Structure 1
Amino acid sequence: MNIKALAFDTGGTVLDWHSGICKAFALAGQRHGVERDWHAVTNDYRRASMAGIVGKLQPAFNMDDVHRTVLDGVMAQHGLEMFAPQDHAQIHRAWNSLNAWPDFAGALGRLKRKFPVVSFTMLPLAMVMAVSRRNGLEWDAVVSCEMIGAYKPQPLAYEQAARWMDVAPGQILMVACHNFDLNAARACGYHTAFVRRPLEWGPAGPPDPHPHPDCTIVVDDFPTLAQHLGA
């Protein structure tokens, strides 16, 4: 491999969305004296959000808009009609205050000393800025699919990201915990690294936990990835 840049999926691979959003639902439930399987509610919310943005071309909305608009349907699905508008707003705002996985920030610093590091994500730019500042993540650049107008796994997203980085696809290592992202990146010529995130979807476990055999690198955590890359 002649790697000249690293591109990181951010939602799920870098950010622990499940814990943050699950806590927001649980806090709203406590205010109303309501109990549900908040892990299941959170995962249904994530599925609905992904369904609303994955693969879109030139949408008139971004992923933050989807997070806002699908929330009412998820609440109705789980009998949470008693949740007030302020509960809705509090759960929606939780996306901007997610924690990064604890193994990431230190490894990012190590990797950045050797490679340009880019957040290449379906999340909107404003959200990546907020969570990066919260977690002390210093990217060389952020490439959001909203800036391109094509959302993963559309080939245009990967092609444009490589053009903006001014690096040939074969010299970029796409890093993610999701096969759909890595498979699409590989089809566009990227090298791929699968980082396992067994807790991404909480106790239920991720829906696609096994790396595709064509991945260039498979690791259990980010310090191991940094070591593998000599950082």
Structure 2
Amino acid sequence: MLYPDVLGEAFRRTGAKLGYPVSSQEAAALGASVPEWPAFDDSEEALHRIKKHYQQIILSNVHRNGFAASNRRLGVDFDAILTAEDIGSYKPNPANFDALIARAKEMGHSGRLLHVAQSLFHDHAPAQRAGLPGVWINRRHDKPGWGATPDPRANIRPDLQFPTLIALATAVDQAFAESD
């Protein structure tokens, strides 16, 4: 299923479970809204800064059109983009991380990946199982709970942690400045 259809179905099921039926039109409107979703405020600047030092591969749970619309706002020239539509599954499915590793290998970066993500459940748990080091963008560092993502139900220990993507970009800039 494409991401808009998954969202619509999840919306219908959630509404039914809570006793608030969701119409087909409402479900379709939510699914169609994906291209309008904003990025985090720091994403555009941070991704551009990190891009000065590293190649970037996106591994996204959205569909091609949804990501393309988001990326028009970011304006980042990613080195590769892998969507759930391309892979045929959604994170945390291991197939997504297998596809990421295969694409990096095709690009000549075998064994040289650093997975950067927010969700411990969708990203860090399967990335660790795939043997990838990781940086957790812990946007909820000052809030309890998991927010919109499920509890990972595992002892996940990313290699590094930053409260925002811009904080990671600053650390990358500093590390390169020190090595000059």
Cα distance, 1:106 vs structure 2: 0.2
RMSD of aligned alpha carbons: 2.8
What amino acid is the match of 1:75? G
Cα distance, 1:203 vs structure 2: 9.4
Q: TM-score, normalised by structure 2?
A: 0.77
What amino acid is the match of 2:12? D
Instruction: Render the CA deviation track for 1:85-135: whole Å, top value 9, x for unaligned.
Output: 543333222222000110111010001111111210221122111121134
Does the residue aligned with 1:70 lie in a helix, a strand or coil?
helix
**Paired residues of 2:42 and 2:164 also in contact (CA < 8 A):** yes
**Paired residues of 2:118 and 2:137 also in contact (CA < 8 A):** yes
Which position in structure 2 is the counterpart of 1:76? 16
**Paired residues of 1:178 and 1:208 also in contact (CA < 8 A):** no
Give ranges in structure 1 of 5+ residues lacking alignment. Answer: 1-60
Is 1:119 the equivalent of 2:41? no
Matches within 5 A, 1:183-194: 183-194=125-136
What amino acid is the match of 2:8? R
**Paired residues of 1:194 and 1:219 also in contact (CA < 8 A):** yes
Matches within 5 A, 1:151-162: 151-162=90-101
**Paired residues of 1:198 and 1:205 also in contact (CA < 8 A):** yes
Is 1:101 the equivalent of 2:40? yes
Which position in structure 2 is the counterpart of 1:37? none
Give ranges in structure 2 of 5+ residues lacking alignment. Answer: none
Does the residue aligned with 2:114 lie in a helix, a strand or coil?
strand
Query: Are residues 203 and 72 of structure 1, via their aligned partners in 2, closer, same or farther at CA, if it must alter by over 3 Å?
Result: farther
**Paired residues of 2:133 and 2:159 also in contact (CA < 8 A):** yes
Q: What percentage of aligned pairs have identical amino acids?
A: 24
Which position in structure 2 is the counterpart of 1:12? none
Does the residue aligned with 2:49 lie in a helix, a strand or coil?
helix
Work out which structure has the larger RCO, using CA pairs closer than 8 Å and 6 or more positions apart in sequence: 1
Does the residue aligned with 2:31 lie in a helix, a strand or coil?
helix
- Provide the aligned length of Structure 1 versus Structure 2: 166
Is 1:87 the equivalent of 2:35? no
Moved over 6 A (4+): none
